[in-house]
Amino acid sequence: MKISYLFIIVCGFWIVSEILLQFLRFSKSDNQDKDLGSGKRLILVIYISITVGIIISFTRYGRIYINYHIIQLGSLILIVLGLVVRWLAIFTLRRFFTVNVAIQTDHIIIQTGIYKYIRHPSYLGMLISFFGLGVCLSNLISIALLLVPLAFGLVNRIQIEERALIDAFGNDYLKYCKDTWKLIPWVY
């Protein structure tokens, strides 16, 4: 199978899975919702970044001149790696995963699997996949336009999530924070 077909299949899965998450994993209880609109802002940032990144990739500014097959393979590997990390995080949290920030009545701090090392691995997976998308566009400016706004949106979202978790779990969550990386191991 050609890499381009595999790339289309993977990106199709990525898009469909994210759309399904928005509909299937949204906590509808108002008393649990601590989102503060961060989810809607993050989606807006993602749509704008993707649109502008793709448009810029058609210009000659920032163009990466490397063999197209190497770019395609590298981007595919990054997108799949990001999806694996994201879905591993989602499956580890199971019913506690929601697309909006919500603390459930029987919520617990998950500290197993990937959560033993990283507090927000789902967002790390997003960053890796978006980096892969930027690589696919073969444009340094597009990569920056995809990653920088997304990173700012995720940092804001993480602050909101961590405030909600500290409010819900207090010192237990603070201890967990001391033992784990927030987003990127050995960096942040």
Q: Which domains does the chain have, with CATH numbers?
A: 39-97+106-179 (1.20.120.1630)
With cut-offs at 50, 70 and 90, classify the pLDDT of residue 33: low
118 forms beta bridges with 181
With cut-offs at 50, 70 and 90, classify the pLDDT of residue 74: very high
125 Cβ contact list (under 8 Å, min separation 6): 82, 83, 84, 85, 86, 87, 88, 89
With cut-offs at 50, 70 and 90, classify the pLDDT of residue 156: very high
181 forms beta bridges with 118
33 forms beta bridges with 102
Provide φ and ψ at 54, rounded to 5°. -65, -45
149 touches 44 (CB < 8 A)? no
The torsion defined by the Cα of 14, 19, 21 and 26, in degrees rounded to 10, comes to 160
Provide φ and ψ at 20, rounded to 5°. -60, -40
What is the separation, in whole angstroms, between the first and last Cα of the chain?
38
Give the chain's length: 188
Neighbours of 23 (CB within 10 A): 8
Mean pLDDT (whole number) for 66-71: 84
How much is the pTM? Answer: 0.88
* Whole-number pLDDT of residue 32: 58
pLDDT in tens, 158-186: 999 999 999 999 999 999 999 999 999 88
Q: Residue 41: pLDDT above 70? A: yes
**Residue 157 corresponds to which tokens in the numbers above?**
């979202």
Q: Residue 15, class by beta-carbon neighbours within 10 Å (0-12 exposed, 13-18 middle, 19+ buried)?
A: exposed
* Whole-number pLDDT of residue 139: 93
Separation between Cα atoms, residue 75 and residue 137, nearest integer Å: 9
